Structure 1
Amino acid sequence: MRACPGLLPRIARALRREEGTASIEVVLALPIVMMMFLMGLEASILMTRQLLLEHALDVSMREVRLGRHPGLDHDRFKEIVCSQANLFPDCKNVVRIEMTPVSKTTWTLPDAVATCVDRRAPIQPVTNFTQGPQNTLMMVRACVVVDPFFPGVGLGLRLHKASGDGYALVATSAFVNEPGAGV
């Protein structure tokens, strides 16, 4: 006794039909194309953020180079940098700035790894921020921790995570305090 007479011929006929085969190509290709598009968009956003951080640090350094802000502290300089960098939400809480004099006798540079904000910690450790005496080479680094736009896709998935859940962007600048500048 047969349960469904004619079922096998109908299945065989359905398998031979060619309607809807174009949708298979779309189903297979669309995720790859979309992932590449989102990776490109993430890379362009990352590069724009890096460029804006570099630009903000450079513009902010112009005034400091000439000693127009004597007694400048970390919080005031952070305000100056954040006023120039408009793409970072909550900039004052995600940026860390360190200014360190470089010894002219040993030429010892600061630690290779920049100190960034740890978003998991309620209290952030103090960074070195010394304006330095005149005719001194100064090294300035700004580190911003930001979230990827597409964290689960392509580039956003593979970015090296800083302390916490974002990735770090670091900008570095160096200058010599002009005579009469600094402390």
Structure 2
Amino acid sequence: MMRFISNRLRHFSDSEEGSMVVPFALWIPLFIGIIVSGIELGSVTIRNTAMERALDQTVRDVRLGTGTVFTHDSIKQEICDGAAVLPNCMSLLKLEMVRLDIRDWSDPERGADCVDTSLPVNPLREFENGGGNELMLLRACYKYKPISPATGLGSALAKDAQGYSAIISTAAFVQEPL
């Protein structure tokens, strides 16, 4: 009986079956984290690029002053139309346009005004239409929910109380005279 147990133990210690289970179990979470972070980074990059491009195209239309009277809602609609990859754009995008005086310079407020998703009413922060030859700053802030808020890159993104992260784009332009 002792010989039988001894042979079985020796056979068990010499066997290499299942030897890859431990390294697999140790490395798979790291690889999954890298894959999920790559997907999150791609998602953020696509959203940021789409918003930057839409903002630049909209600012170009505003700057040229083609006779169209732009309002807050029309600029917001044009940005959302240009950035089709931003879901719920009209409700999650916040615009701020301020006049900057180059003769009496004061820095614009550093923090971007984003939609506060915890409040039912979100008033305009500041939106001024510029006149001819005036320097204007247009800042857009879009809130979105990360794909994986608890793992990889998604856990490192700054989030508000509801779990939304922000993408902020800024454009400055001089309003052409009519």
Q: Scaled by the length of structure 2, what TM-score is found?
A: 0.89
What residue is the counterpart of 2:88 in the other structure?
A: 90
| Deviation sequence 1:54-76 (CA, Å, 0-9, x none) | 00100111110012354422111
**Which of 126, 129, 145 matches 1:128?**
126
Q: Contact 1:96/1:144 (CA < 8 Å) preserved in 2?
A: yes
What residue is the counterpart of 1:30 in the other structure?
A: 28
The runs of 5 or more residues in structure 1 that have no matched partner are 1-5
In structure 1, what is the Cα distance between the partners aligned to 2:70 and 2:177? Answer: 16
The change in CA–CA distance for 1:29 and 1:69 in structure 2 (over 3 A counts) is farther
Amino acid at match of 2:16: E
In structure 2, what is the Cα distance between the partners aligned to 1:138 and 1:8? Answer: 85
4+ residue stretches of structure 1 with deviation over 3 A? Answer: 6-16
| Deviation sequence 1:99-130 (CA, Å, 0-9, x none) | 11101222223211110001111000212111
Alignment RMSD: 1.9
Q: Percent identity?
A: 33
What residue is the counterpart of 1:3 in the other structure?
A: none
What residue is the counterpart of 2:17 in the other structure?
A: 19
Q: Contact 1:117/1:163 (CA < 8 Å) preserved in 2?
A: no
In structure 1, what is the Cα distance between the partners aligned to 2:78 and 2:51? Answer: 12
Amino acid at match of 2:76: K
In structure 1, what is the Cα distance between the partners aligned to 2:18 and 2:67? Answer: 70
* Other structure's SS at 1:21 match: coil
Mapped pair 1:67 → 2:65: yes
Count of residues in Structure 1 that have an aligned counterpart in Structure 2: 175
Q: Contact 1:71/1:131 (CA < 8 Å) preserved in 2?
A: no
* Other structure's SS at 2:20 match: helix
